[in-house]
Chains A and B, each alone.
Chain A
Amino acid sequence: MARAGKVADGVANATLREPGRFFALSLDTFRALFKWPFQWQEFLQQAWFIVSVTVAPTIMVAIPFGAILSLQVGNLIRQLGAQSQTGATAVLAIVREASPIVTALLIAAAAGSAICADLGARKIREEIDAMEVLGINPLHRLVVPRVLACAFVGLFLNGIVSVVGIAGGYVFNVLLQGGTPGAYIASFSGLAQLSDLYQAEVKAVVFGVTAALVASYKGLTASGGPKGVGDAVNQTVVIAAMALFVENFVLSALYFQLVPQKGM
């Protein structure tokens, strides 16, 4: 009986308490957002740091992503005899779906793990406790700048993925598949519209906020020495990636409901 109680306790703990604490931290962070003075220096440092850990991998992932889309879709579309529309499909696929997903993965993996490792190390070195005892709210001092920096950088990462992905697709299509440069570029606005870019940017900001919050939560609750920090980083990447894909789905579904789509 006692054991059953313990197991039930554990399940309740995992399913309710952890998310509850996470949302509590998110709300507290939101409240701390409006506290004066804003930590500009920390924000800029973090933004630069996130840029430095994400830009290169993002570009490296975006190039093959654009190329593979061109390869897959280009083959199909050629068989249908609509090769002049390759550019249209590339823009649609990359701007609408691929770039938010690549951004999500990179933010969760590169930025999230870095933020979690940093905060986790500070937590186990008791730096966070020391900060609280010195009368400084770590949410205001550390978490808010990181969340904003992650959202801010996410916005631009999404842009980079779009540009690099489309350029990669162009190079692949024109140079390797024998497509026509003019047709590729001319068909850009065939299927996609500007609101596709806006929704992608909204997604990127939401992903940035989510990944930073998950990473901060995991970092600030790390315990059990260096291994604990390692576990927290691992969980951050997994949880953030899962959360971002779910968010991506929800936001896409909402977008299709709210914004009328362009026909051919």
Chain B
Amino acid sequence: MGVEIRVEGLTKSFGRQVIWEDVTLTLPAGEISVLLGPSGTGKSVFLKTMVGLLKPDRGHCWIDGKDMPNLRERDMYEVRKLFGVLFQDGALFGSMNLYDNIAFPLREHTRKSESEVRRIVLEKMEMVGLGGAQNKFPGEISGGMRKRAGLARALVLDPQIILCDEPDSGLDPVRTVLLNQLIVDLNAEIEATILIVTHDINTARTVPDNIGMLFRRELVMFGPREMLLSSEEPVVRQFLNARKVGPIGMSEEKDLSELEAEARLGRDPGPLPPIPPQLMTSDGRLRRTQHAPGEWLRTHGVTPPEGSFIDEMGRDWLQEWPKYVAEMSAGAGRHSEGAH
């Protein structure tokens, strides 16, 4: 079971440069959230502050009833055992091969026998598609492999919170989709609270339950996926749809003259594109925290564009969803009957 993370008024600056101010958000227990933002808005800094690697200027981050930034060091190490963190480049230990890297947390924090460690490590390596690469050293493999090995290491202790710093950077599109699928399946299986920091809008549009966006030193918006995907807020709209028109420029934000020129030319950001259905688990299981497609839109009176929620196989999830849920629950019922 995942843990709820409540961030209140978190502010961080380096010297005189404010990175972000008064970030307040709640990552609901067991849900997947994505944190977006242009390069250099301090997304990675936010992750590191959450796990206590960086100390914020002020604010709180409540995890399991404990205020992470203000804990004593010993207690902080204790709370960190709840976390599995995937760093940008995998952050594998260069002096160990992949097997020892992934076995490291098990050997440090559990009293498992070496054969048990072996079983778990090989299982996780298989899961991230690294079977047979146990004896390779981090320096000998590609960035994508390092990243997947880093993910395997983050997962061996079955963490309740998983933080991923740009899991898709440096991965090819196919591996990115497969990794996304892995994250969704993982969430269904261990119900960890997951936060992904990314630039990849395809990931942001299809994977999470919630999306947040950092821009200009503040959290512009945080909420259910459909809320942000249907948002008219210029920054959110520009970023989630990868448009040129909008407040984000090459150097973080556009200056006034550029924005005026855009307004003079009457450039319109265009209609909102369809909202894609959320990625389902690969074996069709329902995630505990999954919401029906279009639920948020319906309850908030937003009409999505025609053809939203039609997946690549042509199924319209607005129609399919009730049937699907009924089938799943019937299946689960049969399952439990069979068990008796």
| Interface residues of A, Cβ cutoff 8 Å to B | 121-122, 125-127, 129-137
Contact = CB atoms under 8 A, between A and B. Distances in A.
A132 B52 CA distance: 9
Contacts of A137: 73, 77
A21 to B, nearest CB: 13
Contacts of B109: 134-135
Given A132-B53, A133-B51, A126 B91 contact: yes
Interface residues of B, number: 22
Nearest to B78: A135
B73 to A, nearest CB: 8
Interface string B239-282: 00000000000000000000000000000000000000000000
Contact of A129 (B73, B78, B87, B92): B87
Contacts of B51: 133
Nearest to B165: A126
A8 B73 CA distance: 32
A250 B81 CA distance: 46
A124 to B, nearest CB: 10
Task: Label chain A's interface by main secondary structure.
Answer: helix
A37 B53 CA distance: 24
B97 to A, nearest CB: 15
A130 B150 CA distance: 10
B104 interface: yes
Q: Which 8 A-B pairs have the closest CB atoms?
A: A130-B91, A126-B91, A126-B87, A133-B85, A135-B77, A135-B80, A134-B105, A135-B81
A134 B87 contact: no
Contacts of B53: 129, 132-133
Given A134-B104, A135-B108, A127 B91 contact: yes
Contacts of B108: 134-136
18 contacts: A125-B89, A126-B87, A126-B89, A129-B53, A129-B87, A130-B85, A130-B91, A130-B92, A131-B93, A133-B80, A133-B83, A134-B109, A135-B77, A135-B78, A135-B80, A135-B81, A135-B109, A137-B73
